[in-house]
Structures are given as C-alpha cells and as structure tokens.
Amino acid sequence: MATRLEPGFEDRLLSDRDAAHGLAPDLARVLVVGASQINRIVVARIVERCGLKAVSETPASAVRVLPLVFPGLVVLDGGPDNRDCDGVVAGLVALRRVSSNNLPAVILLSNRTSDPAGSSLASVTDAVVTKPFTTEQLQPVVERLVRKAGA
C-alpha cells in the first residue's frame, strides 16, 4: 500500500515502508523559491558560495519539483506580503512529516522584521532573513541550518 502526499504531489507515491523509516533529503541541495528571478539568482549565488547546489524555481514550478529534489534546505522569497510561496507549504509539511529529521529546513526572506506569525509559512519556517538582505546576513543562516541538518 502507498501513502499519497498532499495535493500537487500526485507524481510521487511513498510506500508505507518509506513513510515509516523516513526519506533522506539531499543535504547538498537547496531549493530557492520566489517570484523574482533576480532574487532567486542572488540567493542561488550565495548558496553556491556555501558549497551547495542551488535549484531555482518559481512558486508554481516548485510545487512539482520539491518532492523530486527533496532538498535539505529551502529558501522561500515571501514577496511583498509573505504570501508568494503559500502553495509550497503543503509539500513542505508532507516532506517534513516523512523525514526522520523534520527536513527540509526553511528560510523565509521577508519584508517584515519579525517572525511570519499569521502567515501559512509560520508552521514550516526555521529562520527569517529580512529584505533587503546581504551575503553577510544570509550565508551564515544557510550554513547554520545545513550544519544542523547534517548533525
């Protein structure tokens, strides 16, 4: 028997054995999700400086790519109101549920200086980096979460 993941994940079925033992995320991959191509490119370059492989996707395409890539870390550009990536939340929740380490870890790039409380991203966010961000702000957060995921 197989367990079907959340809507948008129809192409990937998990066996009950996989769900019970947890899937292993690829800790060397980081999924960068955002509507702004420029922001995705900047974040991907920062991720690559950390020695990781960045996979850049729009929020719509990320829904399909997320279960196939199963990254150790996801960087979400929330957009002006932190709602650009709401469609990805169900997939993140599903992967965290089957992962033995509650992965992928999630960084939210936000215009707001506080946590994403009240948004759908609050349940899956591990760190918030305010925009505009610099390499010096984002890179240590990426490295910390990847190190924590590997422990």
What does pTM read for this prediction? 0.82
- Structural domain of 39: 2-9+27-150
What is the chain's Cα-based Rg? 14
Report the C-alpha gap between 102 and 31 in whole angstroms. 16
| Cβ contact 74:27 at 8 Å | no
Q: Quick check: is 144 in a domain?
A: yes
Quickly tell me which residue has 């924590």 as its tokens.
Answer: 148
Residue 135: which CATH number? 3.40.50.2300
Q: Quick check: is 18 in a domain?
A: no
Report residue 135 as tokens: 């390499």
Q: Quick check: is 15 in a domain?
A: no
Return the pLDDT at 21: 45
Q: In what order do the strands lie in the sheet with 53-57?
A: 53-57, 26-33, 71-77, 105-110, 127-130
Q: Quick check: is 17 in a domain?
A: no
Q: Quick check: is 22 in a domain?
A: no
Number of domains in the chain: 1
Q: Quick check: is 118 in a domain?
A: yes
pLDDT of 46-83, one tens digit each?
999 999 999 999 999 999 999 999 999 999 998 888 88
